[in-house]
């Protein structure tokens, strides 16, 4: 048994993924990519592996491949990975566009989940009461509230003690930093609601004004729901968008 190095072992696939991503951001929309065989050699990887990775970027809409012609950077992506299809914390989103966020009204408590919360966590109804950690807070920029976030996490995955003084308000970032549980995807429902008295007060908006509500189940790599989060956004501060592919017939 050799002494394990502390550098993470990254599979060829992962290496190529980040390399391609860097190549894309370094190029302008419409630019040509090096031909497959050449790029594969350059990255020290087989063409098959390279093709699998390129295919993923095509699927995401970042690259366009044309049979017999070439591979090109898509001309319709202003900034890579800024859409809703990638799950990132509000903090890192704000950081990318150079915003300083503040956290207000933080509230952390442990209790049993309400039926609605249990449903959001995918627990079959009628089961024993599920103990959860509730993290509630308001995100503000320059003193102006822009979002109200509530995370519901089964105690199995996170306890009150795990939140140290440095807690910046993002359960997602916490999980990613601990790398346990390992996260994979999130299923996010998109809704609109009118501000109730409670939210009107917390977000400093008129009663009954329109809010964007996102409800998200966070899935671990082994397909467990590790968190259910509900967010309310004040319009105008974030630009959410989604790349949708057309269902060919």
Summarize as ranges the residues that interact with DNA (CB under 7 A). 9, 11-13, 33, 35-38, 44-49, 51-52, 65-71
By CB under 8 A, residue 249 contacts a second copy: yes
The two tokens of residue 207 are 């009663």
Which residue of 75, 119, 196, 201 would you call a contact of a second copy, by CB under 8 A? 75
CB of 79 to a second copy, least distance (A): 12
Rounded to 10 degrees, the C-alpha dihedral 61/66/71/75 comes to: -50
Nearer to DNA, 219 or 233 (CB): 219
DSSP string, 22-73: HHHHHS-TTPBPPPHHHHHHHHTS-HHHHHHHHHHHHHHTSEEEETTTEEEE
Name the minimum Å distance from CB 66 to a second copy. 9
Q: What's the gap between Cα 191 and its chain centre?
A: 18
Number of residues that bind a second copy (CB under 8 A): 54
Minimum Å distance from CB 155 to DNA? 25
| Rounded-to-integer distance, Cα 110 and Cα 210, Å | 30
**Would you say 59 or 107 has its CB closer to a second copy?**
59
Residue 197 three-state SS: helix
Q: Pick from 31, 60, 150, 237: which binds a second copy (CB under 8 A)?
A: 60
Name the token pair of 67. Answer: 């049979």
Q: Locate 131 and state its tokens.
A: 């103990």
Contact between 127 and a second copy by CB under 8 A: the answer reads no
Q: How many CB atoms lie under 10 A from the CB of residue 174?
A: 20
Residue 48 touching a second copy (CB under 8 A): yes
Binding residues (CB under 8 A) for a second copy: these are 30, 48, 51-52, 55-56, 59-61, 64, 74-76, 81, 84-88, 172, 176, 183-194, 208-212, 216-217, 219, 223, 235, 239-249
């Amino acid at each position: 048994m050799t002494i394990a190095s502390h550098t993470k072992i990254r599979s060829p696939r992962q290496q190529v993924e980040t390399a391609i991503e860097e190549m894309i951001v370094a190029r302008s929309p419409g630019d040509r990519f090096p031909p497959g065989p050449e790029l594969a050699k350059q990255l020290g990887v087989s063409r098959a592996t390279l093709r699998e990775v390129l295919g993923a970027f095509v699927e995401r809409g970042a690259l366009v491949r044309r049979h017999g012609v070439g591979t090109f950077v898509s001309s319709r992506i202003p900034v890579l990975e800024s859409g809703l299809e990638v799950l990132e914390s509000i903090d890192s989103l704000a950081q990318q566009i150079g915003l300083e966020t503040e956290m207000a009204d933080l509230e952390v408590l442990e209790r049993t989940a309400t039926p609605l919360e249990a449903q959001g966590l995918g627990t079959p109804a009628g089961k024993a009461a599920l103990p959860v950690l509730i993290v509630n807070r308001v995100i503000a920029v320059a003193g102006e509230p822009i979002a109200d976030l509530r995370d519901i996490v089964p105690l199995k995955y996170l306890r009150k003690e795990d939140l140290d003084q440095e807690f910046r308000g993002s359960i997602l970032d916490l999980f990613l930093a601990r790398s346990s549980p390992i996260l994979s995807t999130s299923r996010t429902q998109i809704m609109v609601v009118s501000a109730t008295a409670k939210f009107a007060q917390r977000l400093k908006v008129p009663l009954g004004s329109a809010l964007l509500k996102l409800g998200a189940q966070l899935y671990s790599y082994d397909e467990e729901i590790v968190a259910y989060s509900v967010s309310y956004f004040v319009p105008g501060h974030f630009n959410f968008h989604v790349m949708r592919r057309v269902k060919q017939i």
